[in-house]
Chains A and B, each alone.
Chain A
Amino acid sequence: MESGRLRPRSANHGDPFTRLVMQAAAKRPRTNHLDLAQRILDVARQRGFAPGAHLPEQQIASLCNVSRTPVRAALRLLTEQGVVQWEAATGYRLVADLTAQAAVAAELPVTAEDELAEAILRDRSARRLDQTVTVVGLMRRYDAERKTVLKALQRLTEENLVGRAPGQSWLFRRAPDDPEAQGESYEFRLLLEPAAILTPGFRLDGTRAAMLRQGMETLTALPDAAFDTREFQRLDIEFHDMIADGSANRFVADALSDHLRLRRLPGTYAGVNVFRLKQSLREHLTILDHLESRQYEVAADLLRVHLRLSRSQRPQAASRGAPALFGMISRPD
């Protein structure tokens, strides 16, 4: 058993591993402080705060629409991470270069409910959990307290990955992790992603685009044997999210962001070979070229082609003398 991983079902409070996990959980920061820390970083980046910029508590509280007390706790958390520095004379000051760091949040410690939420998604993807789960069932499986399970489910609900079902149960949304659902997902994106660019008022986040370009160029240059599929997934989601966020139509942006969130789930990137992933990165870069030069119609056309090429062509079944099968086959009797 790896430390730091949630142990399902048979965990025993008395064993050293469980004690260690529980001690670690007790030291974890509260979720709302983590969320606020991330919001502070987002605001600082959006406003172009450079290293050395002052972060007055009152101004931050006002920008984040909260009181000063939680801001102080969040800033303390960022100080522990080395992102922010506190000096008695001047107060809080930004240390990190936010334009050079793709995801500072990734460096932040995770909460017990975050870790549980991740384990729940992973186990659902592996079909260790059914599509419908109950709080009691999850408490038993992960040997977790009710409030931790509820918070994890709340988090997944906020991200629209699960929803309440009748009774005491919760229902996972369908993820694009099987060929049929992936096909539907690509059709949905073909409808909306080019439209996100073509709707008048599209705005490209220049800082985000520059960071993405750098990340994609670095990944493309890696030899096949060293290719990092997880980094590809991060860049791919970030690229398509950036396009969704740039749409001037809030309903298009919301619908796409909601759908693209499903692509963060485990299992959605399985089975694509490195040649295609690198080709996909090159397509992203070309689309980015055209977005940056405001050739939106060309960018939208290229995006359409990119999505069509990204849809898996691999048959689901093949055998000597038989016509290859696409799409799903229902479970044989």
Chain B
Amino acid sequence: MTRKASPTIALFPEASFGAALNCVGIAQALRARGARPVFICHAGFSGVFADYGFQEYQLPTDDPLSDSERQSYWQAFVRRHLPHFRLSPIDQLETYVAPTWQAIVDTAVNAEAPLRQLLARLKPDAVVLDNVIMFPALAGTACPWVRVVSCAETELPDAEVPPYLSGLAADDPSRPTFESRYLAAVAPAHERFNRLRADAGLAPLPKGLFLEASPDLNLLLTPTIVRRERAEPLDSSRFIYLEGCVRSEGPFEVPVFPRNGGPLVYVSFGSLGAMDVGLIQRMLAVFDRLPARFIVNVGGLRDAYRAVPDNVYLDAWFPQPSVVAKSDLFIHHGGNNSFCEALRFGVPSLIMPYCWDGHDNAQRAGETGVGDHIGRDGWTEGVLERAILGLLADDAMRARLKDNAAQMALKPGTDVAAEAILSLVRT
């Protein structure tokens, strides 16, 4: 086989499950087409991709954290940020968004030298970056790089699109206030990032932007049903919208519940959201009195729960696409991966966002009639109960979502992404 017949595609997702698992979906489709997908991963994610059968290359770090240091980091992280996740998007700017951008810039700085060395050694035919920040080493490679916009569409700014991370409607009058506070909050991180770019010979990016469009190919995980009208439409030769990007998982067997029967509701707030034990406990009390079955992802904290209701099943991890496919409602945090999976299987979303683009997807779910959203804080048992029962009873929404899911199934995002990447390296 020639090199072009079996091109090496290096997928480089950020160290979060959403991006990692999107890329697994694309890699599965690339492998099915004879390419050789490999993963460049941050410390801590090696093993995740190998379990799906992919070669991994871990980025070495100069000063790796010990297990106990990681524990301490997370204890402090959770203690500091759980209260912030109950704030409005604008009040998260200084408390959560700005320090997170600082940490993301640290990631880019630390990865620069090892990434440059790894790419020189690996000589991929293309690199697929699924992240929110640019790694200057990519611009120095001889091969094309592909950007995956796996957050909400708001990640690509436009006059008709609400500001990224704002949770606002497009015409919300508070838009200028949010934008100016955002730019001020992220300015220190942005200035550091532009210095990194300058050191690598890259032009600075405008204020508030951390990642430019790829000159070759950009893939947006934005299904048609939630897509926005843009003042300046994206160039279709470089920007391709995907109808989600759902990986293939094994079958899921619905567990037996002591109190069986009724619709199936899947609840997952991602690995970070699973740490909000207090919130999930309050929700379980509501689930107990509802005529439905609930499957709840609680991460590694199952032992924090007692007297779990008979219509609730907890576990640390689920093959999410296979679970969503069997569910009647998906309660999630608005992560774009979860949102796209709900749409792909025609399941309404009840979004309870706590940070980042979860706010944007929550707003969009309500605007487009594909679900509902309630705030993470301040809800009463009655509010949650009505939201769940309302969505379960909304036959019109369900029918519309099922029709849409059938359309999405005709054009799987993973296949479209793989075809686009391969045509890029074969031209």
Give me the interface of A with B, judged by CB distance under 8 Å.
Answer: 1-2, 5-9, 119, 122-123, 126-128, 130, 177-180, 224-227, 229-230, 267, 270-277, 279, 312-333
Contact = CB atoms under 8 A, between A and B. Distances in A.
A202 B339 CA distance: 54
Contacts of A327: 67, 71, 300
Given A130-B306, A229-B250, A317-B74, A331 B260 contact: no
16 contacts: A2-B256, A126-B255, A126-B312, A128-B308, A179-B316, A274-B250, A316-B299, A317-B275, A319-B100, A321-B104, A322-B15, A323-B70, A326-B70, A329-B75, A329-B78, A329-B300
Interface stretch (B47-55, B228-236, B416-424): B47-55
A320 B14 contact: yes
B404 interface: no
Interface stretch (B37-45, B87-95, B112-120, B173-181): B37-45
B74 A329 contact: yes
Given A128-B309, A227-B251, A320-B356, 14 more contacts: A7-B258, A8-B258, A225-B251, A229-B253, A271-B319, A273-B319, A318-B271, A322-B73, A324-B43, A326-B67, A327-B67, A329-B300, A332-B82, A332-B276
Given A276-B51, A329-B74, A322 B103 contact: yes
Nearest to A119: B258
B62 to A, nearest CB: 13
The 3 A-B pairs of least Cβ separation, nearest first, read A313-B47, A324-B44, A321-B103
A211 B15 CA distance: 43
B183 interface: no
A326 B251 CA distance: 26
B57 interface: no
Contacts of A267: 315
A177 B310 CA distance: 19
B6 interface: no
Contacts of B214: none
The dominant DSSP class at the A interface is: loop
Interface residues of B, number: 73
Contacts of B101: 321
Contacts of A324: 15, 42-45, 70
B71 to A, nearest CB: 7
A5 B260 contact: yes
B183 to A, nearest CB: 19
B302 interface: yes
A270 B104 contact: no
Contacts of B250: 224-225, 227, 229, 273-274, 277
A128 B258 contact: yes
Interface in B304-336: 304-310, 312-319
Contact of B107 (A230, A321, A331): A321
Contacts of A276: 51-52
B307 A128 contact: yes
Contact of B253 (A2, A230, A317, A322): A230
B275 A127 contact: no
B215 interface: no
A331 B277 contact: yes
B106 interface: yes
Contacts of A126: 255, 308, 312-314
Contacts of A119: 258
B249 interface: yes
B16 interface: yes
B303 interface: yes
Given A127-B303, A279-B53, A315 B44 contact: yes
Interface of B: 14-17, 20, 42-48, 50-53, 65, 67, 70-71, 73-75, 77-79, 82, 100-104, 106-107, 132, 248-251, 253, 255-256, 258-261, 271-272, 274-277, 299-310, 312-319, 356
B78 A178 contact: no
Contacts of B14: 320
B359 to A, nearest CB: 14
Contacts of B51: 272-273, 275-276, 313-314
A180 B299 CA distance: 12
A314 B276 CA distance: 20
A270 B251 contact: no
Nearest to A333: B79
A127 B305 contact: yes
A271 B317 contact: yes
Given A177-B302, A323-B70, A327-B71, A317 B103 contact: no
Contacts of B45: 315, 318, 324
Contacts of A273: 51-52, 249-250, 319
A127 B101 CA distance: 38
A325 B71 contact: yes
A2 B310 CA distance: 14
A331 B302 CA distance: 10
Contact of A329 (B17, B260, B301, B313): B301
A313 B48 contact: yes
Contacts of B302: 127, 177-178
B44 A318 contact: yes
Given A271-B318, A273-B249, A323-B65, A5 B48 contact: no
A191 to B, nearest CB: 20
Contacts of B315: 267, 270-271
B47 A178 contact: no
A70 to B, nearest CB: 33
Nearest to A7: B258
A325 to B, nearest CB: 5
Contacts of B48: 313-315
A90 to B, nearest CB: 44
